[in-house]
Chain A
Amino acid sequence: MLDALPTAFLFFLAALILPILPRGPLRSLLVLIVPVVAGLAVYALPMGNLVQAEFFGFTLDLMRVDPLSRVFALLFCIAAFLGGLFAWHLRDTVQQVAMLLYVGAAIGAVFAGDLVTLFFYWEGTAISSVFLIWARRSEASYFSGMRYLTIQIGSGVMLLAGIILHYSATGSIAFDAMTLDSPASWLIFIAFGIKAAFILLNNWMIDAYPSATVTGTVILSAFTTKLAIYALARGFAGTELLIYIGAATAVYPLIWAQLENDLRRVVAYALNLQQGFMFVGIGIGTELALNGAIAHAFVGVLYGMLLFMTLGAVMYRTGTSRATDLGGIYKTMPLTALFCLVGAASISAFPLFAGFVSKSLIISAAAKGSHYVVWGCLLLASAGGFLVCGLKVPFFAFFSKDGSLRPREAPGHMLLVMGLTAVLCVLAGTNPTALYALLPYDVSYQPYSTGHIITQLQLLLFSALAFALLLPTRLYPRPNPTVNLDFDWVYRRLLLGAIGLLAIPVRGFFRALDRFKAGPLKALIRTLYNTYGPMARTSQFWPTGAMVLWIAILLGVTLLVSYAS
């Protein structure tokens, strides 16, 4: 029965039903059950274009099921389940409905077989997810949500422009592999790049994720960027440019992540850096590399959610995720601390943890392709990423100096879901064949060789050594309660300033106009009024007969004209 219904509609249906249900656990249960049903349905789906619809003369493929789309749809179902469980305590209709719509749109986009369907869902993810930010109901989150929405809709508009150009050039709306040889494909590429957080297009991610609610951040981190990874893997696999974009994206956030005080922003930077690895994998485009990128997206969702969950739990209990306000809370939140360490080990690619088995696929692919510089960048990003997420986040959140904070341990459902996600991270790390089996290509790759384990441990532990040696000195950038300028300064300040400059002549023109209206124009009107107005001199001496005379003259002229013509 579920074959005939696009999986996304399950979520939309649930979003319709949810507000009718009584507020309480029943709603949370619905949010939890839908991904399970959807996941089982996706797992059982046969391959092929299952559902088609007619739309203004186009045939839309709503359900293109192939190994690539299926693995992402499964991933999104798992993520939706984990996010739903984390949000079990939530009694906020807005967030619950937004969550369902957002997940539905993301899954719909993954299954979209044509660009028009993709566009609708692409915008759907943007519009539904912004409510997870606004649901925090603070002024800062309102503006952050506005920036997020502007950028995301911008991506959608570029996608639409690209689709229109693509259609007018080729007459096809099919969403298949493209090459960067026309304005159309460039527009689509950049639209994907905005959502995927390419270097310099990435600031929305760091801005928006930590502005969302405790649960919203967990949900946001799983879908938008990974949807874009899917879209890039589908449309631009093997595009060489992506390799260099990826290397730059992986290295760029390192310094900012070091300086950042808000630990949720630090994690956002670290996830952005991991996106770079995936771009490299997609750009190389061999089966090994593509598998690596997809595997990395898969585990990236898991450890990204895990890290945001642990910090979300901390924030839930203490009201802050700033490094300067936290510290020493491992004493009363030990399980949360433990799960954070698992997430940190996973994102840092410690052997036996999730990131190890996926990251090594990509780095090996880069080395095999003899991309020396790129390989070096990825290695640097691995080491620096560990410094940031593996050491800084757990250290300053849970250990560090002992503050006066003695929060209670996270609520039961949060512990349960964090534990579950941590187990998944370890399972993926210890049992890579199960993870690899989900991937679209058959690749025999063995991440666990003695040499590889030793070199990876060397990389990580000597990074830790640098951390340990520099931490007590002034050479370590200890977190300060400040803002650090990033590229978003360009549009939050520079462009704003440029508009301010542009406004000077415009303002000058309108001021001059105002002055003219207040001065000479008013005087002129007053003079005219005084001369010809009802009380004016001229009206007093104006006989009624003059009027009749003029009408007679006018009629005479009319008569002459009509006679002559």
Chain B
Amino acid sequence: MDNRTPDNADTYPALGRAFLWLDRPGGAKAVRYTLFILCALLIVADFVFYKKGYLPIEEFPIFYALFGFFSCAALLICSVVMRVILERPRDYYAPTDGALEPSPQEQAAKVDHHA
């Protein structure tokens, strides 16, 4: 299998190399700070622009931002709690369910894709 070629960044496609900064120290931090700035801008925009809603609750300032943040946080925490009840070993239903199968590429190895 050619999945594990020696790790040399020069062999990556150009587009892949263009995003390598994500993996450098500080890359994730940069993404996070960009997100913070965008969120702050959206809060400001909420007060600057007129928005038309169908329901009275939509008039509440930054309603959508609050809804998005708190519902998602609640959802994630809920999932963590639910996992305690729902989680089972991989072969819970059948021993073969979790088994690793040969990669489809290997099965199709004889095919010439550039035909």
By a beta-carbon cutoff of 8 Å, the part of chain A in contact with chain B is 24-25, 89, 91, 136, 138-140, 143, 213-214, 254-256, 258-259, 315-320, 328, 330-335, 338, 364, 367-368, 370, 372, 375, 379-380, 383-384, 387, 399, 402, 404-409, 411-413, 449-452, 454-470, 474-477, 480-486, 492-493
Whether B103 pairs with A334 at a CB distance below 8 angstroms is no
Please report which residues of chain B, range 14-36, place their CB below 8 angstroms from some CB of chain A when the two chains form the complex.
15-20, 22-23, 31-32, 35-36
Whether B72 pairs with A317 at a CB distance below 8 angstroms is no
By a beta-carbon cutoff of 8 Å, the part of chain B in contact with chain A is 2-5, 7, 9, 12-13, 15-20, 22-23, 31-32, 35-36, 38-39, 42-43, 45-46, 49-55, 58, 62-73, 75-80, 82-83, 85-90, 92-94, 96-106, 108, 111, 113-115
Whether B114 pairs with A467 at a CB distance below 8 angstroms is no
Whether B69 pairs with A449 at a CB distance below 8 angstroms is no
List residues of chain A with CB within 8 A of the CB of B23.
328, 402
Whether B55 pairs with A470 at a CB distance below 8 angstroms is no
A256 to B75, CA, bound (A): 11
Question: Residue of A at shortest CB range from B91?
Answer: A483
Tell me, rounded to whole Å, the shortest Cβ–Cβ distance linking A374 to chain B: 11
A259 to B102, CA, bound (A): 25
Give 5 new A-B contacts, CB below 8 A, not counting A338-B15, A475-B76, A483-B92: A255-B82, A319-B100, A320-B100, A331-B12, A480-B87
Whether B3 pairs with A383 at a CB distance below 8 angstroms is no
Whether A316 pairs with B54 at a CB distance below 8 angstroms is no
List residues of chain A with CB within 8 A of the CB of B105.
316-317, 319
List residues of chain A with CB within 8 A of the CB of B31.
468
Among candidates B20, B70, B80, B90, residue contacting A481 with C-beta atoms closer than 8 Å: B90
Question: Residue of A at shortest CB range from B14?
Answer: A334
Tell me, rounded to whole Å, the shortest Cβ–Cβ distance linking B3 to chain A: 5
Whether A483 pairs with B98 at a CB distance below 8 angstroms is yes
Whether A461 pairs with B93 at a CB distance below 8 angstroms is no
- Contacts A334-B15, A477-B79, A484-B88 hold; do A138 and B101 have CB atoms under 8 A apart? yes
Whether B108 pairs with A89 at a CB distance below 8 angstroms is yes
A71 to B9, CA, bound (A): 47
Whether A406 pairs with B83 at a CB distance below 8 angstroms is no
Among candidates A91, A454, A465, A483, residue contacting B89 with C-beta atoms closer than 8 Å: A483
List residues of chain A with CB within 8 A of the CB of B13.
332, 334-335, 409
Tell me, rounded to whole Å, the shortest Cβ–Cβ distance linking B7 to chain A: 6
List residues of chain A with CB within 8 A of the CB of B97.
140, 483
A460 to B5, CA, bound (A): 38
9 residue pairs from A and B, CB less than 8 Å apart:
A140-B94, A140-B97, A319-B105, A328-B23, A331-B19, A331-B20, A387-B76, A483-B89, A483-B90
Among candidates B35, B39, B75, residue contacting A258 with C-beta atoms closer than 8 Å: B75
Whether B80 pairs with A455 at a CB distance below 8 angstroms is no
Question: Residue of A at shortest CB range from B92?
Answer: A483
Question: Residue of B at shortest CB range from A335?
Answer: B15
- Contacts A461-B38, A464-B35, A475-B80 hold; do A319 and B103 have CB atoms under 8 A apart? yes
Tell me, rounded to whole Å, the shortest Cβ–Cβ distance linking A89 to chain B: 5
A143 to B95, CA, bound (A): 12
Whether A138 pairs with B96 at a CB distance below 8 angstroms is yes
List residues of chain B with CB within 8 A of the CB of A254.
75
Question: Residue of B at shortest CB range from A338?
Answer: B15
Tell me, rounded to whole Å, the shortest Cβ–Cβ distance linking B34 to chain A: 10
A465 to B42, CA, bound (A): 12
Q: Which of B7, B67, B88, B100 has the most CB of A within 10 A?
A: B67
List residues of chain B with CB within 8 A of the CB of A474.
80
List residues of chain B with CB within 8 A of the CB of A483.
87-90, 92-93, 97-98
List residues of chain B with CB within 8 A of the CB of A476.
76, 80
Whether B16 pairs with A331 at a CB distance below 8 angstroms is yes
- Contacts A140-B99, A259-B87 hold; do A459 and B65 have CB atoms under 8 A apart? yes
Q: Which of A213, A404, A461, A485 has the most CB of B within 10 A?
A: A461
A292 to B74, CA, bound (A): 29
A338 to B2, CA, bound (A): 22
